[in-house]
Amino acid sequence: CAAPPQSDRAAPQSREARQQQLEEIGAWQVKGRVAIVNGAEAWHLNVIWRQDEDDYQIELWGPFGSGRVQLEGDAQGVRLSDAHKQIYYARDPESLLFDHTGVKMPVSGLRYWILGLTDPQQEQDQPRYDARARLTSVQQESWHVAFKRYTRLGELAVPDRLTVAKNDLQVKLVVDDWQLQ
Amino acid sequence: APTIEDYFGNLDSFEADFVQRLFNAEQELQEESSGVIKIQRPDRFYLQYREPYEQLYIADGKRLWSYDADLEQVIVKQQQNLLRDTPAMILSNPQQLQRQYETDQYRSDDNNLIWFRLTPKSSENQFDEVQLGFDETQIRIMELKDGFGRITRLEFDDIRRNPGFSAETFRFTPPEGVDVIEQ
């Protein structure tokens, strides 16, 4: 008979086992570059993202460290500080970034997608896996998330090329340095 | 050692290797990168990061091109106020430098660099303070501090003053198959 479709070849429990291992990662740091296209506007930024359970710190900057923006938050709220010594507060990072940049950046979703996990707080639709039980794409509340490439982190595989798109917003992330804290 | 006016007065073009270090407000090193910078007065520059990844920024006098091979994308923006308070402007545009910054000769340090401190005349500048370190002939170090005490430090090496560039140097043609976003 024909070989099963690619996504079923991996034994189911290795998908659960892999998901469990990823979920156990409490603290991690990613250094990389992000391209954001929001309709006619676009940015290339460097990014450092530190996550420790629900606490996170995300720093974005351009050439020569210009235009540095820092987001620091936890489950209760988030603070944004920009290069002009302005500080802004909000309940959630999405509304804060939107007010500041006009971009609806799915920060809460990225926290999981960056690891190769689906976001447990959002509906998920048509997850696809490769032969090694790694997520290759998923749709979460009209965010199309594609995991383009994986890299090794210890004995785990984590994404180092990721795109997220919805309507006319497209985010491409390239990870240069993965670390477990 | 040169004063700022002497140094920048007859600087028409400039080329150097650089190492860039970014420090957070607690002065911890966040990132180190290196590359090559080429500047042609008054408003063209070529900035190529080579390590730890490739990124290219070219200001051709009208537009700023930014290209990242891994992101497979080019972004093109109108140049005018983009460069206002970046090192590229400071190095390439002394009139704007004098208009925007108070400069005072600040100190010399143990590896006998003469330091100048630039403080912005208006608050829109992104950087609260810029320090320039010179040896007898060249600018060696540029430090830019923002409102939160975060520092960008550029160290220049292999510096060539007035090398004279071909116009080609500051022209960018996007590679095949890369998406170009024009703003």
Q: What is the mean pLDDT of each run of 10 residues along chain B (183 residues)?
A: 73 94 92 95 91 93 93 90 68 78 80 88 82 89 90 95 93 92 89
Helix (H) or strand (E) holding B92: helix B87-92
**pTM of this prediction?**
0.89
Residue B158 has a pLDDT of 96
* pLDDT at residue B1, as a whole number: 52
ipTM of the complex: 0.87
Question: Given CB atoms, is B152 within the 8 Å cutoff of chain A?
Answer: yes
- For residue A142, the model assigns a pLDDT of 92
Chain A residues within an 8 Å CB radius of B152:
64-66
pLDDT of amino acid A67: 84
How close A59 gets to chain B, by Cα (Å)?
10
Q: In whole angstroms, what is the distance from residue A126 CA to residue A121 CA?
A: 16
Residue B66 near chain A (CB below 8 Å): yes
Q: What are the phi and psi torsion angles at A71 (to 5°)?
A: -110, 130
Confidence of residue A6 (pLDDT cuts 50, 70, 90): low
In a mutagenesis test of the A interface, which of B28, B47, B86, B129 is the best target, namely the one with the most A β-carbons within 10 Å?
Answer: B86
Give the per-residue pLDDT at B86. Answer: 73
**Residue A145: beta bridge partners?**
A138, A164
What's the count of helices (H) and strands (E) in chain B, helices before strands?
A: 3, 12
pLDDT at A3 over 60: no
Looking at CA atoms only, how far is residue B2 from chain A in angstroms? 25
Kindly state whether B26 is in contact with chain A, defined as any CB-CB distance less than 8 angstroms.
no
Chain B interface, mutation test: which of A66, A79, A161, A163, most B Cβ atoms within 10 Å?
A66
Place of tokens 């007898």: B136
CB pairs under 8 A between A and B: 85
Question: pLDDT by residue (tens digit) across A45-102?
Answer: 999 999 999 999 999 999 888 888 899 999 999 999 987 778 999 999 999 999 988 8
Contact B146 A83 (CB under 8 A): yes
| CA–CA dist B177, B155 (Å, integer) | 35
Query: Which of B56, B91, B146, B180 best probes binding to A when mutated, by most A CB atoms within 10 angstroms?
Result: B146
Question: B13 in helix, strand or coil?
Answer: strand
pLDDT (0 to 100) of residue A2? 56
Residue B123 contacts A, CB cutoff 8 Å:
yes
Residue A22's CB is within 10 A of a number of other CB atoms, namely: 19
pLDDT of residue B2: 57
